[in-house]
Chain A
């Protein structure tokens, strides 16, 4: 049987964050324009509570279509996808997303490192990754890998972060990484 090749031309932004990142997302997303050629995936550490309303909150604040990722969810341009609590997010070559309940990485599930790394394998130079405020070092190894495969990487300027440790670690280990203040983030994202 001949298989139909799906040409994946989507460009992708993956945003990772932990403590202190929600406020930034709520400020920045309303000013983001998302054309059909671009999708955003958000991976934030949060508690696993039933009936989480975070996707509804982000959608109503930003006016963007925001949905929590289900297994084998197709990634569509013009939409924002949120990692569900307690699952890692993986990127398939056919432009769908898979979920995974394997071991926590950096005490975290979803792990930002896991999402950045998997996204880089598929999206390579069409991938941009932005690491926001947070209190552990999840995401730093992932950023390094993204850069090695030609993706664009950036962090929230540590001085502007409520929990600066996460972006600070990235700045420390990845010299030359772009540092962006929340106020400049919408323009930065829209220019990608």
Chain B
């Protein structure tokens, strides 16, 4: 078992030596991920893990990848995608160009999901999807657009549950145990590293999607990120969060109205 003081030591090391700031991450999750990493990489004790992190810069990539959570799927929570399709995309379609920011996109499954929705609404060619994550490994995978064949059955079911009417397999070509998604989808995506903790706003968007990222932050950091999103959204633009996340207890809440039952808000002032 790793005690809380050790977590603080490691958080300070990673910030001072490498500039990754986990200071305001939720402690329960950090503790669990760091304990798990100790077990996965067979460190006999916390001290050995800390030594490796401090003295082996090449290990940092692994540390960041394992401490942050990169579990995602296509059309995760199909009713959410149904709401985007029915309630949000028709509004976005009224703009000459559509700018979307997918913050914390991980390995990109949800970015491709959204691109498919945009394509089916005939909006893809005038959209740009900026997809960011702090994890460079995850971004590489997202950029490649290759996902495991073994997940396609589930993704196809999600797609149908989200109101999809095409043949899902028409969006990818299969190759052994991986599938590569249509280049036409990836053409409208821009992937780049962005850290919600330390980086600032980089554009004004019509839709920001950030799902199951804020649950790993404490309240203080959540509020800072909400401010960042608020500064990056134009009037009548949309903010979409994970199914258990809410802006209700934040200071930006009064300027937003929830759209339907899903975790989607529209900026009103």
Task: Tell me if B31 and A121 are in contact (CB < 8 A).
Answer: yes
For the complex of A and B, the 4 pairs showing the least CB-CB separation, nearest first, are A90-B28, A102-B69, A71-B215, A98-B26
* CB-CB nearest in chain B for A121: B31
Task: Tell me if B244 and A99 are in contact (CB < 8 A).
Answer: yes
Confirm or deny: A169 has a beta carbon within 8 angstroms of a beta carbon on chain B.
Answer: no
Task: Tell me if A101 and B69 are in contact (CB < 8 A).
Answer: yes
Task: Tell me if B32 and A90 are in contact (CB < 8 A).
Answer: yes
* CB-CB nearest in chain B for A103: B71
Residues of A within 8 A of B215 (CB): 71, 87, 98-101
Cross-chain pairs A/B with CB under 8 angstroms, 25 sampled: A70-B246, A71-B244, A71-B245, A72-B219, A72-B222, A84-B244, A87-B215, A90-B28, A90-B29, A91-B28, A93-B27, A93-B28, A98-B28, A98-B29, A98-B215, A99-B244, A100-B29, A100-B69, A100-B215, A100-B216, A101-B212, A101-B215, A102-B33, A102-B71, A121-B28
Using an 8 Å CB-CB cutoff, how does the interface string of B207-248 with A read, 1 for contact, 0 for none?
000001011101100100000000000000000001111100
Confirm or deny: B183 has a beta carbon within 8 angstroms of a beta carbon on chain A.
Answer: no
Task: Tell me if A71 and B28 are in contact (CB < 8 A).
Answer: no
Using an 8 Å CB-CB cutoff, how does the interface string of B229-269 with A read, 1 for contact, 0 for none?
00000000000001111100000000000000000000000
Confirm or deny: A50 has a beta carbon within 8 angstroms of a beta carbon on chain B.
Answer: yes
- Interface residues in A85-117 by Cβ distance below 8 A to B read 87, 90-93, 98-103, 114, 117
Task: Tell me if B214 and A71 are in contact (CB < 8 A).
Answer: yes
Contact for B32 among A70, A84, A114, CB less than 8 A: A114
| Size of A's binding interface in residues, CB under 8 A | 22
Confirm or deny: A33 has a beta carbon within 8 angstroms of a beta carbon on chain B.
Answer: no
Q: In the assembly, what is the distance between CA of A98 and CA of B79, in Å? A: 23
Residues of A within 8 A of B71 (CB): 101-103
Task: Tell me if B244 and A70 are in contact (CB < 8 A).
Answer: yes
Contact for A92 among B27, B77, B212, B243, CB less than 8 A: B27
Residues of B within 8 A of A114 (CB): 32
* CB-CB nearest in chain A for B77: A50
Residues of B within 8 A of A84 (CB): 243-244
List 16 other contacts, CB 8 Å, given A50-B79, A101-B212.
A71-B242, A71-B245, A84-B243, A87-B215, A87-B244, A90-B26, A90-B28, A93-B4, A93-B28, A100-B29, A100-B215, A100-B216, A101-B69, A118-B32, A121-B28, A121-B31
* CB-CB nearest in chain B for A89: B28
Q: In the assembly, what is the distance between CA of A70 and CA of B244, in Å? A: 5
Residues of A within 8 A of B28 (CB): 90-93, 98, 118, 121-122
Q: In the assembly, what is the distance between CA of A117 and CA of B28, in Å? A: 10
Q: In the assembly, what is the distance between CA of A98 and CA of B214, in Å? A: 10
Using an 8 Å CB-CB cutoff, how does the interface string of A145-161 with B read, 1 for contact, 0 for none?
00000000000000000
Residues of B within 8 A of A87 (CB): 215, 244
Q: In the assembly, what is the distance between CA of A114 and CA of B35, in Å? A: 12
Task: Tell me if B244 and A92 are in contact (CB < 8 A).
Answer: no
Q: In the assembly, what is the distance between CA of A41 and CA of B129, in Å? A: 40
Residues of B within 8 A of A70 (CB): 244, 246
Residues of B within 8 A of A103 (CB): 71
Residues of A within 8 A of B27 (CB): 92-93
